[in-house]
Structure 1
């Protein structure tokens, strides 16, 4: 990553630091009750003091997140290809795909727990349902935006439909696919938390729920911080993977 690109994050970093400093000041001068809104420093202290317990829940949430995101990626890619190859499937499935996103996951999660129990399965399903939609839609849009001149060139060389898909359309759709994957990566942790909050034996969602029921607000905030960091980590890993897989796209984006 170039120094110019790193410098672009400067304003965001300054704004974040300013917000945290203002937050600390407002609570310390008793404008807000510290028991309702802990200071950033007290949150960090609680996170460090309870890390041995929080880390166990973090590993559980991370496992659910990664598995659900991986399944969503495969399903999203397969569905995008099917939607692109078959107009009949697109007309039949796409409306159902949109409708599926109107179902509140908080209402569906308890049913999944009843059907599949307290193990990993319902949480992975929730994460998958959260993530596969942006991946499928982004990849389908990428496939639909293939350069028609390239397709005509391969058709003139007697390339089959599958050869065109493999050689031109899928590579051309990768930037859109990674855009959808970045969005899905941020959704994935939220999906795991929702599933755990309903019913779980371990996980950050359960930890937040237990801390809130005990009125340990500072521990709730500590878990929120870990959740946010986990989302940022996944987002960064996807961005790194995109940078490795599509260096030409990154360079092109910087020159525009």
Structure 2
């Protein structure tokens, strides 16, 4: 993509964002909106600079929690998908329960996890895993199911074992679907970490925002929102880069 094309792609959203921020700032000044109700972007940036050491401390805690829960959710989701693919009759029995896990509100399940496992790190990781593993499991199952039937027949005619067919054909062709689930889980994991911290933690962006909300510090709440959005976008971008690297064989054809 040429430099001019990149500018044409990025200029409209960047321009719209800048216009929105300008209108936001001017509106708070013209209508004399109280800072505790709706601070302007300038006030939020100033408070963010002042609060940066504290914000960074909470951010690192959230990053660690998110990455641990996200990685665990990926592993459990991938193992579950492979297991259910290998045993279709178990898949038919357990599939409704997989869907059921996503219909239970996390905000209702979290207090039970805190009662069962205490106020430590473990229940917060479980919350993230519950949110993350489902998209990975479902997308991987769909990718495995959609393996080309002619290629499967060719592998069978070539004398390949079931294990060889899985590792050399089915799993590689399921990688694009897997990454679709990973991108969904990446954004969900940050939100799940925030909810877990809001409910029980003593550190993390969720705790920071809970304290700010109790003190009617809307500027600090916006700082927390910006951190969550930025981290979600960075994590999502990392998954996209990994997807391009793992699926480079598709563009090389």
TM-score, with structure 1 as normaliser: 0.92
Q: Distance in 1 between matches of 2:81 and 2:209?
A: 36
Q: Quote how far apart the aligned CAs of 1:20 are.
A: 2.0
Deviation at 1:229, TM superposition (A): 0.5
* In 2: Cα distance, 1:137 partner to 1:15 partner: 36
Which ranges in structure 2 are unaligned for 5 or more consecutive residues?
A: none
Show CA shifts across 1:8-60 (max 9, x none): 34433333222222222221211744321111121111111101111111111
Q: How many residues align?
A: 252
Deviations 1:93-148 (A, max 9, x none): 11000011110000111121222222211111111111111111111111111111
Q: What aligned pairs does 1:14-25 form with structure 2 within 5 A after superposition? A: 14-25=15-26
Please name the residue that 1:128 is paired with.
Answer: 129
> Once superposed, what is the RMSD of the aligned Cα atoms?
1.8
The Cα of 1:183 is off from its aligned counterpart by 0.8
Structure-2 separation of matches of 1:29 and 1:22? 10
Q: Structure 1 residue 251: deviation in Å?
A: 7.0
1:184-243 CA distance string (max 9 Å, x none): 000101000111111111111111011111111111110111111111110011111112
Match of 2:202 in 1: 201
Q: Which runs of 5+ in 1 are unaligned?
A: none
Structure 2 match to 1:96: 97
Q: What are the within-5 Å matches in structure 2 for residues 105-184 of structure 1?
A: 105-184=106-185
2:78 aligned with 1:41, yes or no?
Answer: no
Question: Which position in structure 2 is the counterpart of 1:218?
Answer: 219
Between the aligned partners of 2:18 and 2:174, the Cα distance in structure 1 is 37
TM-score, L = length of structure 2: 0.93
Runs of 4+ aligned structure 1 residues displaced above 4 Å come to: 1-7
Number of the residue aligned with 1:8: 9
Give, in whole Å, the separation in 1 of the partners of 2:6 and 2:92. 42
User: How far 1:155 moved relative to its partner?
Assistant: 0.5
